[in-house]
Amino acid sequence: MSYLYVYMEGLELHFINFVLKMGKYLMCKRTTPKPTHGKEISEKGKPNLQFEDLPADLICTILSKLPQKEAIRTSVLSSKWRSMWTLRSKISLDGGAVCGSRRRGQNKYCQRFINNVEKVLQNYQGKMVEAFGIKFEFDSILVDNLNKWVSFAVSARTKHLSFDLAPIRFARRDDRFIFPFELFSGSICRLQHLQFSFISLQPPSWFGGFPNLRKLELNLVHVTRKELENMLCNCCCLEWLSMVRCHLKDDLRVDRPMSHLAYLLISCCVITKIELHATKLSTFIYEGEFVPIVLNHTSKLVNAHIFIFDAIFHHVVASLFHGLPNVHKLTLCIPDLQLENLWSLDNSLQFSCLKHIQLFAHILSHGSDKILYLAYVMRAAPFVEKVEVHFASGHSLWFAQEGPLRHELGHDEYKYLKNLCVTGFKGARGQLEFLLHVVENATALDVITVDTTERMLESDIKNEYLCSIAR
């Protein structure tokens, strides 16, 4: 008896495609053991094992490695392969891949996409679909069909639903696809992952939420504060929440505890305040204008990345005292950083868990005399072990002589600090005094890294991008 072993993990897509196009049979080569006398006999085995004879789950794994369009193309291999591609439990339909480039009018292009989607879904009637995704620029012509496709996802007991309807040029467009919450009335919802782009969420008062939802990603979504709060309150298992370019123009607040939320990303959203009760939150990323952030019920916050377009440094630090008191690693990036002269902090406020600080500071020429005051944030972190300060200034900081001497700060004690890294060093007095102040007050310091390379440039590029998409 011979056995066929197929190892799929890590197999490249182009190789799988090549195998599928090779034909109908898999050939195996049998070599008899070398006899004591005589010649070695080698022969080709008969083509008695057909590709479609492989276990269904293995065929499904092979097909799942291919794009939807390529998987459908396998139907031409033979009559037995005609419906084999429907073993895929994932449907992903991209307008560009399904319909090609737009060479005709918008209405005809939309209708062509609709027809192609309908043909695919006909083959999945009555079957369970693990993931269902649509990517196409929104047009009002699509509304009825989009509703129909959501209904299909409900009947197919889909776990992962993705509707990416964002047009290339979305600025000043207020139209959105209104998500049909009514289709979930009376049905058992298995949704665990939702990705919505260019959609309007208007859940009715009776809507009971998505009880199994683990991950929610919103981009360019229209929703009010109250509607979002009601929806999140009824997603009791939510672990991941991402909001990009969703303009509430109000507070992002959820009064009910979000006891499973571990990841929160808010980027380029027009909001006035962030206030959540998430005891298990471990990663928080915020990119946007300076707003109050209150996550003080979070005891397991490992990483906080705060990217603020422009702000006064000590205002940000004072706000984070109240909002993120238990953070372990804080990355603070302010491209248009505004430093002030001697300022005091409430000594009763401290980052009692903070072990790692990263500061990305773009220092303009008029701020070179205040660089030394960056040390104040270290005073508020008595247990900090690693500090990174990444300067960006162009040529304005080279050997700048402005600024106070370190004795004006007085004596501090950074007794847990072991690692100090400074990049973008230009020999300015403020930079040198900052380094000397830290070295003289950190008795456990093991590693000092000083580099003239400006790592902040990476953040500058990111800031330009974020500003462009926020418009």
What tens digit of pLDDT does each residue of 232-290 get?
A: 998 999 999 999 999 999 999 998 899 999 999 999 999 999 999 999 999 999 999 99
Distance CA 208, CA 119 (A): 33
Higher per-residue pLDDT: 99 or 200: 200
Mean pLDDT, all residues of the chain:
81
- Residue 356 is inside which H or E element, if any? strand 356-362
Question: pTM of the predicted model, to two decimals?
Answer: 0.79
Give pLDDT, residue 470: 40
pLDDT of 398 over the 80 cut: yes
Name the pairing type of β-strands 386-392 and 419-423: parallel
What is the pLDDT confidence band of residue 346, given thresholds at 50, 70 and 90?
Answer: low
**Three-state secondary-structure class, residue 463:** helix
Mean pLDDT in residue range 65-77: 63
Give pLDDT, residue 425: 92
Distance CA 333, CA 216 (A): 26
Distance CA 47, CA 38 (A): 28
Share of the chain above pLDDT 90, in %: 47
DSSP one-letter string for 216-278: EEEES-B--HHHHHHHHHT-TT--EEEEES---SSEEEE-S--TT--EEEEES---SEEEE--
- Lowest-confidence range among 157-161, 227-231, 317-321, 346-350? 346-350
Distance CA 432, CA 60 (A): 62
Give pLDDT, residue 348: 64
Q: Helix 143-155 and helix 106-122: axis angle, to 10°?
A: 20
pLDDT of 177 over the 50 cut: yes
- Residue 362 is inside which H or E element, if any? strand 356-362
Give pLDDT, residue 297: 82
pLDDT of 20 over the 50 cut: no
Token pair, residue 298, equals 């979070």
pLDDT of 23 over the 60 cut: no
- Reported as half-sphere exposure (CB side, CA atoms, 13 A), residue 148 has a value of 12
**Three-state secondary-structure class, residue 453:** coil
What is the pLDDT confidence band of residue 300, given thresholds at 50, 70 and 90?
Answer: confident
Give pLDDT, residue 18: 44
Q: Given the structure tokens 């007050």, which residue do they identify?
A: 441
Long-range interactions of 50-54: CB distance < 8 A, separation 24+: 50/24, 50/25, 50/26, 50/80, 51/20, 51/24, 51/25, 51/26, 52/78, 52/80, 52/81, 52/84, 54/4, 54/6
289 contacts 308 by C-beta, under 8 angstroms: yes
Token pair, residue 398, equals 């080279």
- Lowest-confidence range among 67-76, 111-120, 214-223? 67-76
